[in-house]
Amino acid sequence: MRVKVCLTNDTCLPLPASTTMHDGLCFELPTPMMWPPGLVLQQNRLTTTVFHQSKFIVLGDHDCGHMIPHIAIPASPMSLLYTAFSGRRMMFASSKVKANGSPIGCTEIFGPHLPLPMSCCGSPASLPIGFPVSSWLNTVGVGLSPSDVVAGAIGYAAKVLAKLIGLLPFFKDGYGGLVKELVGAANIKEWALKNIFSSLAGMAKVALTGDGKCVRVDLGSGYAGMRLSWKTSPTDRLKAEREYQAGPVQLGLGHSDRRDGTTSDQSTLSVGSTSGNWGMPL
């Protein structure tokens, strides 16, 4: 199927009526794809040298990011927590069409295919109800294969299933509220559950598309954290990556075993980068 690319100024929001569920109805502010807090915290994934209409193109794994204003209906102080840790994430990406070395993200409400949503933050789990309302007007499109669609659906299902299983009494001890959101899990059991499901989804993506992170381990939140991953691609037989983040500053370390028998090491430091790749080499 052919899907129009998304650009930095394309407005996205949950549908209908910009509402989600967070232990009750919430109104969320529509945002451009390049949402400033998400840009600063490097949650946005955008091209740096590939443009359409003189604007950056949205890549796979893009997240509009934190600080999207939420208004609870009825009013609730929990709106502050929902706002602080908000997310509006790309679910689908084209494994065969890349820019700056990363798959191009795919989401579209209109087209000769089923709607391709973004995942919006919610309780008890995120909801596939986010859409850009203007991307269908862009003139450049990319191919999205059935395998890409299935891989994206599996990735979303894995996150939701891990979240729902985490509601069982066995996982309910530990941190709550702000501390839980900053750490990324209430306790070690919930943390392990999330990372196991994330890794299984990554393995499924590699099996379906030949490109993706087969194991991923996260600790923390968009404000600060550590991320480890092992991935495979058409050029890398196996690539190990480590990311350490504090606010807008991110340090990336990587080691690649390439399919041509060579190896390479990378170390980069970026500050509020717009790219899906790491910033300046160290």
Nearest to 105 by CA among 224, 228, 204, 10: 10
Q: Which tens digit of pLDDT belongs to each residue from 109-138?
A: 987 888 999 999 999 999 999 999 989 899
Q: Higher-confidence residue: 276 or 158?
A: 158
Confidence label for 278 from pLDDT (cuts 50, 70 and 90): very low
d(C-alpha 27, C-alpha 93), whole Å = 27
Indicate the pTM of the whole model.
0.91
- Strands 236-246, 224-232: parallel, antiparallel or unpaired by DSSP? antiparallel
Residue range 172-177: mean pLDDT, rounded: 90
Q: Which tens digit of pLDDT belongs to each residue from 138-150?
A: 999 999 999 999 9
Sheet bearing 118-120, strands edge to edge: 31-32, 11-14, 127-132, 118-120, 88-90
Q: Taking a C-beta distance cutoff of 8 angstroms, is the pair 221, 205 a contact?
A: no
- Residue 208, pLDDT above cutoff 60: yes
Q: Which tens digit of pLDDT belongs to each residue from 2-19?
A: 999 999 999 999 999 999
Q: Which tens digit of pLDDT belongs to each residue from 181-190?
A: 999 999 999 9
Neighbours of 177 (CB within 10 A): 10
